Structure 1
Amino acid sequence: MSVTSTIVEPVLNFSGVPAYALVGGLAFGEAALFFGFLLPGETAVIIGGVLAYQQSVSLTVMSLVVVTAAILGDSVGYEVGKRYGGRLLGTRIFARHQEAIAGAQGFLRRSGGRAVFLGRFTAFLRAVMPGMAGAARMPYRKFLIFNALGGITWGLGFTLLGYLAGASYHRLELYAGRFSQAILLVVLVAVAILLIRRHRAKAAMLAADALPPAHERTSPDSAARPSAES
């Protein structure tokens, strides 16, 4: 049994307020407290949908709890990044993720609000994107719009998927993880292509700067031709 399964299996025995609090807390803490490095939030949300299927909770209430918790958690992550972003990204918890963080920062600079929306569907980006948006001083109103769109789509989608999957949530959890990995791969490839293009453009500019001005260039024919005075 995986570590994730060990953590979430007991949740299947929850019902009512404790279930709402636990699933909502995990959805909230993924970006606000960086729980996403330990437990992908969609796993907890899928479990919330399964609990609704088991009639341990209300599907409508669980969906509202997840969406609200996701949006609030990202907003807290945004504020943390705005105040402490530079120092926080240099701490030990992010030491092994510097390359991925650099890629995510490039993706954020290039795509802006779309990066916030798409980041909601990848575990790693879901944990760090709000903080990086805050550190980059993205206007909060813009961040909130795309964050809300992503939170609503993600929260409703995965809660409903868990509900429809019922007892087969383990298989759905696997598919969700593969989907997140696919999105992250696409993002990293796009960033790599952007960096290669910038490197080539910079090399071309340096090569152009190394050439002498046009009026100082002498063609081989003119150099070999004797002057009229001689």
Structure 2
Amino acid sequence: MLENFNALVDGLPPALIYLVIAALVFAEAALFFGFVLPGETAIVVGGVLASQHKLSLPLLLVIAVVAAVAGDSVGYEIGRKLGPRLLTTRVFVRHEGKVSRTQDMIRRRGGLAVFIGRFTALLRALMPALVGCSKMPYPKFLLFNFIGGVVWVVTFTLGGFFAGNAFEHVAKLAGRGLAIGVAVLAVVALVVWHFRKKKREAAEEAGAHAERDAQETVRS
């Protein structure tokens, strides 16, 4: 498995890999790409590549932090410019229940909500624009966004880095076949967890829509 992954990236120049990782992390909030692919996937993969000396770990950390902070800043500006109109866009209407809970978190926790939201995939895509829509001052947003971005990038990048090192260590001690088997099981478990989480979120959104429709029926 790891050999196949290495074969895919061996022919790619490091500069291109840095660019792809930065683009995915940036686009998560700036273009709401986080609804499709969580940004931590990119930085975890980057961490694994750094453990194999294909990327520089310090440079990867700097690039990922800059991309995360810049992407969230663009998302904030989108929310500030659109204001309440943001909530009528398709992507926000689709996740109405999560949007409502995120707005409530912003009202209750202020800047701390920006930090907390950094560690949940859907909130990372929603939070910056909703904070901009709430008119939180940008310097306050930037402070919590930067702190959250640094902690998030370091945590997941080092997670990928140490996972890559652990794989190689297990491969040497127990044999590459066993190590690959363990890695496959871990990936399968993560995929199952991801789809179960998506199914649960979809059920929550459906419940929120049903509740809203019931309220509108009562009013009419």
> What's the TM-score, normalizing by structure 1?
0.68
Provide, for residues 143-190 of structure 1, a one-character-per-residue CA deviation record: whole Å limited to 9, x for no partner.
011000000000111111111111559837939x77xx6xx99xx9xx
Pairing 1:174–2:190 present: yes
User: Does the CA contact (< 8 Å) of 1:45 and 1:66 recur in 2?
Assistant: yes
Q: Distance in 2 between matches of 1:157 and 1:85?
A: 33
Query: Tell me, what secondary structure is at the counterpart of 2:136?
Result: coil
Counterpart in the other structure of 1:43: 41
Counterpart in the other structure of 2:26: 28
Within the candidate set 45, 57, 60, 1:59 is matched to: 57
Q: Distance in 2 between matches of 1:58 and 1:170?
A: 28
User: Which consecutive unaligned segments of at least 5 residues does structure 2 have?
Assistant: 1-6, 168-182, 205-220
Provide, for residues 90-146 of structure 1, a one-character-per-residue CA deviation record: whole Å limited to 9, x for no partner.
112223200110011001110011100000000000001000110000011110110
Provide, for residues 176-219 of structure 1, a one-character-per-residue CA deviation record: whole Å limited to 9, x for no partner.
x77xx6xx99xx9xxxxxxxxxxxxxxxxxxxxxxxxxxxxxxx
Within the candidate set 79, 82, 98, 1:81 is matched to: 79
Structure 1 residue 73: Cα displacement:
0.6
Counterpart in the other structure of 2:173: none
Provide, for residues 34-71 of structure 1, a one-character-per-residue CA deviation record: whole Å limited to 9, x for no partner.
11000011111101101111211101101111011001
Q: Distance in 1 between matches of 2:154 and 2:50?
A: 13
> What's the TM-score, normalizing by structure 2?
0.71
Counterpart in the other structure of 1:200: none
Structure 1 residue 14: Cα displacement:
3.6
Structure 1 residue 13: Cα displacement:
5.8
Counterpart in the other structure of 2:146: 148
Identical positions, percent: 48
Alignment: residue pair count: 173
Q: Distance in 1 between matches of 2:107 and 2:90?
A: 24
Counterpart in the other structure of 2:17: 19
Counterpart in the other structure of 1:220: none
Query: Tell me, what secondary structure is at the counterpart of 2:95?
Result: helix
Q: Distance in 2 between matches of 1:145 and 1:19?
A: 28
Pairing 1:132–2:137 present: no
Q: Distance in 2 between matches of 1:78 and 1:10?
A: 35
User: Does the CA contact (< 8 Å) of 1:15 and 1:57 recur in 2?
Assistant: no
Task: Work out which of the two has the higher radius of gyration on C-alpha atoms and give 1 or 2.
Answer: 1
